[in-house]
Structure 1
Amino acid sequence: MLAQARELALERGEGLSEAQILEILQLDEEHIPALLELAHQVRLRWCGDMIEVEGIISLKTGGCPEDCHFCSQSGVFSESPVRAARLDIEELVEAAKQTAKSGATEFCIVAAVKGPDERLMREVEAAVDAVAAEVDINISVSTGILTPEQAHRLAERGVHRYNHNLETARSYFPEIVTTHTWEERRETLNLVRAEGIEVCCGGIVGLGESLAQRAEFFAQLAEIDPEEVPINFLDPRPGTPLEDQEVIDTPDALRAIGALRLALPKAVIRYAGGRELALGEEGTEAGLLGGINALIAGNYLTTLGDPAERDLDMLGRMQLPLKVLNRVV
């Protein structure tokens, strides 16, 4: 299988089929180093050697009406410790400045909603304008399911990327979310792409899906062909339906990283939440030499990540060049 993957992904820049992805996810542990080495070669050939760093911040946290079973921001789960809160524009601009100082090229403004109402749209537009006026950084937005008019407004504001994760395979999605559909999420991706905004779409590995469903998910992401794919590993949150779900083990997490790179040879694949639990320091470094070419530095929306300085030190120690807007450091 690795020989076939070398021909397709490395030599031709083509992603593996769903059946081939499943074979990769089922590789014996002894073959994981060879998988990661191939994934690294694919990344270098089709994406280059630079690592893209991003910071994220929540404009509106908690109180979401949706029932995504992994998410502590859902207002449906009364036992979740996360409560609704909003950030003012000055705080958000300061966060963007600090993010830029870390060497990041991307700053993502996130809101915990099914989709933005008019009040939130105006807040997001004001936030984008304020950050753009004071910080030299690409601005991404993640505010859930959009209407065509909302997607157009974000494009007019110069939003660089829109994040809207499919989260998991279409066949498994109803086990994880019941208040909206996989298809609704997919339509939002169509809308933002039609407006010329780059698509950022990934999901969470380790939600209880089978390996076949994981392969299905990666193949569905490849069909969308997003510019960026954030890969999260479930960090079970207290008070959510998945609070007792076991964390994916490191070999499975590394197989997933390698398989995702071979499914999407030319995408930015970004470490997101849960890597600290699923991989640890050694596994995180293995993934950076196994197909990953971006990461979120610092904290996530409701969970703690490694300090940004620690991530930058790691990249320096590994001699991985950091992508910035106008130069490489």
Structure 2
Amino acid sequence: MSFHWFDLADTVISGSEITDEEGLSILDCPDDELLLLLQASYKIRSHYYGNKVKLNMIINAKSGLCPENCGYCAQSSVSAAPVQKYTFINKEKILEGAEQANKLNVGTYCIVASGRGPSNREVDTVTSAVRDIKEKYDMKVCACMGILKPEQAAKLKDAGVDRYNHNLNTSKAHHPNITTSHTYEDRVSTVNTVKVSGISPCSGVIVGMKESKEDVIDMARSLKILDADSIPVNFLHAIDGTPLEGTDELDPRYCLKVLALFRFINPTKEIRISGGREVNLRSLQPLGLYPANSIFVGDYLTTEGQESTIDHQMIEDLGFEIDYVNVAENQI
């Protein structure tokens, strides 16, 4: 039976939550109704964000050398993937990355480091760099450095860090199948620590790690309960040498349905298409911006993205606009 996607979108805009049954119907949407589902999810997205697209860029501040055993990650202790390994970069390299982000009209610059959590010295390097970035550029800064202590969160907030990312990655039930070196509760606790400090919480997921559709719905609901302001949706790009190597459960149409689900469950939040976009959405990438309102440009942590000029062209071709404030005026 055909599902009334637009009626469901109106229900969400009016303030109601969808049921688990309705969420499952989104993930099970027949392919011949996919464009209708995307148009309905765009109705919600447009209501809150119009045609604006937020751009984000990552700098990999510390690569590899991580003691955790996350099955998806090429930088973990259980990975045999041949990734570049280096200790925390210096302040000057962080500032160089910010300059590049500014040239690309990026609204949020993300400083990401591998590891269980940051040392105080690493936090000090970031805070020093962030103060300089804030003086020079009109861009948001996001830090992603693992499990965070309250006093470290306070330092980051004082320096001007706008957002802190710590992904739930998967559902509580599926978490032990992905990693055992930290708990699901450790991740929730870090997001709450960030919120208490006054930093905007960013938390998302990785889809395609052998989870069920019910797990995906649970992820979206858990992030709603956490009240994460920004929700990066990653699609697994299984890397040889990791425990999840060879996993290939996704197709572009299902990925679009996942993005629609996250928009329906978290209608007011920034939904960001993140890692695995190019590999999993492939030629359907532009359609992802009907439910989502944010993307990464440039490379990811251990995998390459597509040229930023292609992303800018995609946004222009859709008739969408880059969401930024006076970035061009700050270019030096």
TM range (shorter): over 0.9
Deviation at 1:23?
A: 2.1
1:150 corresponds to which of 149, 152, 155 = 152
Q: How does 1:19-168 map to 2 (within 5 A)?
A: 19-77=21-79, 79-85=80-86, 86-168=88-170
Deviations 1:157-200 (A, max 9, x none): 11111111000111101100110011110011111111211111
Query: What SS does the corresponding residue of 2:234 show, helix, strand or coil?
Result: strand
Query: What SS does the corresponding residue of 1:125 show, helix, strand or coil?
Result: helix
The percent of aligned pairs where both chains have the same amino acid is: 33
Q: How does 1:229-268 map to 2 (within 5 A)?
A: 229-268=231-270
For residue 323 of structure 1, what is the aligned residue in structure 2?
323
Runs of 4+ in 1 over 6 A off after TM superposition: none
For residue 222 of structure 2, what is the aligned residue in structure 1?
220
Query: What SS does the corresponding residue of 1:279 show, helix, strand or coil?
Result: helix
Q: How does 1:180-195 map to 2 (within 5 A)?
A: 180-195=182-197
Q: Give unpaired runs (5+ residues) of structure 1.
A: none
AA at the equivalent of 1:136 = D
AA at the equivalent of 1:285 = P
Distance, in Å, in 1 between the alignment partners of 2:197 and 2:19 is 29
Deviation at 1:247?
A: 4.6
- Preserved CA contact (<8 Å) 2:105 2:327: no
Distance, in Å, in 1 between the alignment partners of 2:256 and 2:238 is 19
- Preserved CA contact (<8 Å) 2:232 2:272: yes
Distance, in Å, in 2 between the alignment partners of 1:212 and 1:328 is 44
Q: How many residues align?
A: 325
Deviation at 1:327?
A: 7.9
Distance, in Å, in 1 between the alignment partners of 2:62 and 2:47 is 39
For residue 288 of structure 2, what is the aligned residue in structure 1?
287
Distance, in Å, in 1 between the alignment partners of 2:21 and 2:215 is 11
Distance, in Å, in 1 between the alignment partners of 2:255 and 2:96 is 34
Provide the alpha-carbon RMSD of the alignment.
1.7
Distance, in Å, in 2 between the alignment partners of 1:142 and 1:327 is 23
Q: Give unpaired runs (5+ residues) of structure 2.
A: none
AA at the equivalent of 2:300 = Y
1:8 corresponds to which of 6, 11, 23 = 11
Deviation at 1:102?
A: 0.7
Deviations 1:258-298 (A, max 9, x none): 111101101111111101111113x1111112x11011001
- Preserved CA contact (<8 Å) 1:68 1:74: yes
1:307 has 2:310 as partner: no
AA at the equivalent of 1:92 = I
For residue 181 of structure 2, what is the aligned residue in structure 1?
179
TM-score using structure 2 length: 0.93
Change beyond 3 A, Cα 1:322–1:264: same
